[in-house]
Amino acid sequence: MFDITAIPALKDNYIWAIHDDRHAVVVDPGEAAPVLAFLNARGLQLDAILCTHRHADHIGGIAKLREVYNVPVYGRRHPNNPHITDELREGDRLKLAMPNIEFDIIEIPGHVDDHIAFIAPEILFCGDVLFGAGCGRNFEGTPAQLHHSLQRLASLPGTTRVYCAHEYTAANLRFALACEQDNPALNQRIAATQQLRAANQITLPSTIALEKATNPFLRCTQQEIIRTLQQHGLTDTSELGVFTALREWKNHF
Ligand SMILES: [Zn+2]
């Protein structure tokens, strides 16, 4: 058995630690100091590092952590990510011994080309592709690639817990509400999120079911969202046309 704990880092990042009472694996350590403090406070040993993609706020702490713990770093290789020791690609399976957990690896380009997701039963580490009530920016690749990647994540079981890498939920919900006013699940999530943030609590993990019910980027066939976008000049009402317009609107929201 293991727990998954969020280690807050940088401005609004979460470094996820998968741990039992002796061993830990961390996902996307953008900073070393909060990870070392977490490990020391709990008397844990670091056994591996998982990396979803190469952005600095996800890999910035790896070199320092590996000075203390000479552990493997699992992820997709990229010229701007010198840290990967063990490359993972679409269809690979990663078996970790301590804690005992197995991940299926899928490639989810569209935020950046080298982005992968780590999927275990009921567990998804999706970095910067799917966020609470939102999705990552389309820095590399096409909107179609990002849309396809999100659709693959949305096809996971509804009970899958979504461990994304940033606390963006409240801001994303403001955009979601601008897209869709008459969605009871969305209004309920906004109230719950406001309560959590007022108490300075984390809004994650969410679930795939909650994202499908409230995240506009997974709801591109909803009539109210299409109508809202039409008021902003949308002409292409295909699912991809709606997704592309949503992503563009959110960039300036
Ligand atoms: Zn990123």
Q: What is the SS3 assignment for 184-224?
A: HHHHHHHHHHHHHHHCCCCCCCEEHHHHHHHCHHHCCCCHH
Q: How far is the CA of 239 from the centre of ligand 1 (A)?
A: 24
- Nearest alpha carbon to residue 52 among 3, 16, 10: 16
Residue 203 has what pLDDT? 98
Cβ neighbours for 248, distance < 8 A, ≥ 6 positions apart: none
Per-position b or e across 36-66, b if 16+ CB within 10 A of its CB = bebbeeeebebbbbbbbbbbebbbbbbeebb
Tokens 């998982």 -> residue: 50
Q: How far is the CA of 227 from the centre of ligand 1 (A)?
A: 30
Token pair for 21: 């009472």
CA 130-131-137 angle, 5° bins = 70
Cβ neighbours for 87, distance < 8 A, ≥ 6 positions apart: 75, 76, 77
At position 31, the amino acid (one-letter code) is E
> Hey, how many other C-beta atoms are within 10 angstroms of the C-beta on 152?
16
Q: How far is the CA of 216 from the centre of ligand 1 (A)?
A: 20
Residues of the chain with pLDDT under 70: none
Q: How far is the CA of 86 from the centre of ligand 1 (A)?
A: 20
Q: How far is the CA of 12 from the centre of ligand 1 (A)?
A: 12
CA distance 232 to 55: 32
Q: How far is the CA of 150 from the centre of ligand 1 (A)?
A: 15
The string of pLDDT tens digits covering residues 26-69 is 999 999 999 999 999 999 999 999 999 999 999 999 999 999 99
- Nearest alpha carbon to residue 164 among 4, 16, 26: 16
Q: How far is the CA of 113 from the centre of ligand 1 (A)?
A: 10
Calculate helix-pair angle for 169-179, 223-231, nearest 10 degrees: 80
